[in-house]
Amino acid sequence: MNRLVLLFGILCGWLAAGLAFSAQPPRSDDYPSRSIRLIVPSAPSGGTDLIGRLIAQKVSEAWGQQVVVENMSGGATTIGTQAVARSTPDGHTMLLTTVNFAFIPAIYPKLPYDPVNDFVPVIMVAAQSSMLTVHPGVPAESVAQLIALARKQPGQIRYGTGGNGSVGHLSTALFSSLAHVTLLQVAYKGTAPGITALMAGEIHMLISNIAAMLPHTKSGKLRALAVTSRARSRIVPELPTVAESGLPGYEYGGWYGLWVPAKTAQTVVMKINDEFNRALSDTSLRERFDNAGIEPGGGSSEKFASDLAGEFVKWRKVAHDANIKIE
């Protein structure tokens, strides 16, 4: 019941934001009137940065205005996100970020912005499946066998993360909660050191995106057990999902989304959504995404808002149950 109340409250928040911007006069004919800042609240060279630069090029060509990717890292993405929340709501400043947008409110008790009332969700830009992998020395060939092993050795199976509150932390916390097992977190300064540690046998398991793990599973240095998404990945269709391999109900999907500040005119939001949908259907862009292990997104802003509301509820429960919080 509490989950339904929370979900209803989030959707009502975005509905209220929609009523606020729909009352403004249409401005899409004049939009964009200058270059656009696409804020990526993380460091250059990461997945969000790559996606931002690829799609910015296509949108720039279509609009005849430069879409400039601006990396604004720090504060676990909160610095760049806050900058967008405080920007003028005219569509010339956008936020491109990840599932962290739904994680952060669950683990930080105080934020310098309101993720519901300070933003309007525009579009789900892309998705990137993750893979549950183990060291080859772990005697488990499936998720079911891994769970059985963890139950026999409570607290002895070590998993790597990119730090407290990271994607790896929460996605594995969800795994351990549903499987009713106790796992030991080993935090590293990023995912790459965690992968190195897994290959060295310092840890037993790791959840990370397919693109990062695939070279190591193909070489035999790591063993892939399953993908974490709801459906099998077209990149590794032979791998089962975690849900079908031993843990029904489990789902973690990495995604990238686009937001603009609250009170942005609805006509502008719709124009941005339309153009990004067109860009995401471009064959050359889809090929670039494929090469990076990224699946193009798309769809309406309403669908994105509905999906996002569910993500807030889901990860808040995971963080609460696992007592994950950062002061």
Local confidence pLDDT in tens for the 327 residues of the chain: 555 545 545 655 555 555 444 445 445 678 999 999 999 999 897 889 999 999 999 999 999 999 999 999 998 899 999 999 999 999 999 999 999 999 999 999 889 999 999 999 999 999 998 999 999 999 999 999 999 999 999 999 999 999 888 999 999 999 999 999 999 999 998 888 999 999 999 999 999 999 899 999 999 999 999 999 999 998 899 999 999 999 999 999 999 999 999 999 999 999 999 999 999 999 999 999 988 889 999 999 999 999 999 999 999 999 999 999 887
Indicate whether 36 and 111 sit together in one domain: yes
Give the DSSP letter of residue 25: P
The maximal CA–CA distance of the chain, rounded, in angstroms, is 64
Q: pLDDT by residue (tens digit) across 82-112?
A: 999 999 999 999 999 999 999 999 999 889 9
**Within a domain: residue 234?**
no
Radius of gyration of the chain (CA): 20
**Within a domain: residue 281?**
yes
Q: Please give the helix or strand (H or E) that residue 206 lies within, else none.
A: strand 205-209
Indicate whether 114 and 55 sit together in one domain: yes
Q: What is the DSSP string of 148-202?
A: HHHHHSTTT-EEEESSTTSHHHHHHHHHHHHHT---EEEE-SSHHHHHHHHHHTS
Indicate whether 55 and 134 sit together in one domain: no
**Within a domain: residue 27?**
yes
Q: pLDDT by residue (tens digit) across 203-235?
A: 999 999 998 999 999 999 999 999 999 999 988
CA distances from 148 to 14, 67, 91, 163, 198 (A): 43, 50, 51, 26, 20
* Cis upstream peptide for 215 (omega within 30°): no
Domain that holds residue 52: 2-128+253-322
Indicate whether 221 and 264 sit together in one domain: no
pTM of the model: 0.87
Q: Please give the helix or strand (H or E) that residue 132 lies within, else none.
A: strand 130-134
